[in-house]
Amino acid sequence: MPNFARIATRATAVAAALAAGIAVAPAASAQSGKESLDLSGLFTDTVVTGSLVLDGNVGKLVNLSSVTQVVDELGRSIGSPRTVALRSGTGNGKLAKYSCLPKTKGNKHFTAFTPAEAFLADDKGKTQALFYAYRQERAREMKTTNGERYDSTQFEICGVGGSDTEGGSRLRRAGVGIAYADAGTTYKIGQNWKEGETPANYTMDLAFSVPIKAVEIAGGISQTPTNKLTGSIGTPFKTDVDVYARNAVNAWWEDSCTGSWMGCRKWSGSKDFHGAVAHSLFEFTPQKAKTVEVGGFQLHAFRSAS
């Protein structure tokens, strides 16, 4: 059998086995008995998604689920995605290195909600994100299309978090994302994420003069200079929330292999904790703001690991 055909046959077999949930060991080739089956390019993309509910001054993620998708070294899907329901999360907001805190108290129309948490622990490690929601009522005086006056309500949602690997897994991407679930109209009025090399600490500001302070991860990425922080209105790998890109912000850390011509291999990625901070700012009428508070925001943490 020609080499090309043999490779194709083997890749199909691996994909089929993965799709069926069968563990595939890097065993010797059935054809030659000498070539080892190369699974070095296989990564698992994981997205933890939930809906934010704001009640009183408490933020909580409900309908949390984890979707995993096995991909090849270039991020192409192999097999079908797998969805697992998770427990709803309310964060304690006291984790020293995860915070999006206001510098000032704000006026009487400013509300700081307790952070909501997305957390996942699996065989590849741990992923955690905290989402801090802030609401500024009476932000702007507006008129409706009928000339009625109203005061707008703004929400800033700041997401901070990342992933750590274990059991030999290596991380190639980790980040957080925020979206308001409307594909037809833009309600997002601001966004921020950090671009470039990954510093040990950084802060970013956005919104109603509510500066946000967040600490990014102690590195230890030996091969770095190309490792970086980045962001987009879309997620780095296809997810269901991408339909809301016009109202979305995503920020993530990624290993240099993700942009390399050869893709990510088994030696690629990091064993350290990495993550990012994403800021988003939205504006609504007061009436719409009340509906938005009941699950209108889709928040997610994501990771790609070997």
Q: Which residues bind other proteins (CB under 8 A)?
A: 3-4, 6-7, 35, 38, 41, 73-74, 107-108, 138-149, 152, 154, 185-193, 195, 207-209, 230-234, 246, 260-263, 281, 283-284
Q: What is the nearest approach in angstroms of other proteins to the Cβ of residue 208?
A: 6
Residue number, 27 or 96, with CB nearest to other proteins:
27
CB 19 within 8 A of CB 78: yes
Beta-bridge partner residues of 60: 53
Angle value at C-alpha 175, between 221 and 190, nearest 5 degrees: 125
d(CA 215, CA 101): 11
Are 72 and 18 in contact by the 8 Å Cβ rule? The answer is no
Nearest residue (CB) to other proteins, 252 versus 273: 252
- Give least dist CB 27 to other proteins, A: 14
Residues 118 and 80: beta-carbon distance below 8 Å: no
User: Coil, helix or strand for 195?
Assistant: coil
Minimum CB separation from other proteins for residue 262, in Å? 6
CB of 109 to other proteins, least distance (A): 9
Cβ(233)–Cβ(250) below 8 Å: yes
Least distance from C-beta 283 to other proteins, angstroms? 6
CA dist 173 and 184 (Å) reads 29
Residue closer to other proteins (CB basis): 127 or 258: 258
Q: Considering the complex, state which of residue 204 and residue 221 has its C-beta at the smaller distance from other proteins.
A: 204
C-alpha closest to that of 60 among 86, 89, 18, 83: 89
HSE (CB half, 13 Å, CA atoms) of 252? 28
Please give the Cα distance from 60 to 155 (Å, whole number): 15
Beta bridge partners of 114: 58
Note whether 116 and 62 are within 8 A (CB): no
- Residue 61 or 248: the one with the smaller Cβ distance to other proteins is 248
Output 227 or 230, the one with its CB closest to other proteins.
Answer: 230
User: CB 99 → other proteins: shortest distance, Å?
Assistant: 20
Least CB distance from residue 125 to other proteins, whole Å?
25
CB of 267: closest distance to other proteins in angstroms? 13
Nearer residue to other proteins within complex by CB, 94 or 108: 108
Name the burial class of residue 253, with classes exposed (0-12), middle (13-18) and buried (19+) by CB atoms within 10 angstroms of its CB.
Answer: buried
- For other proteins, the closer of residues 2 and 21 by Cβ is 2
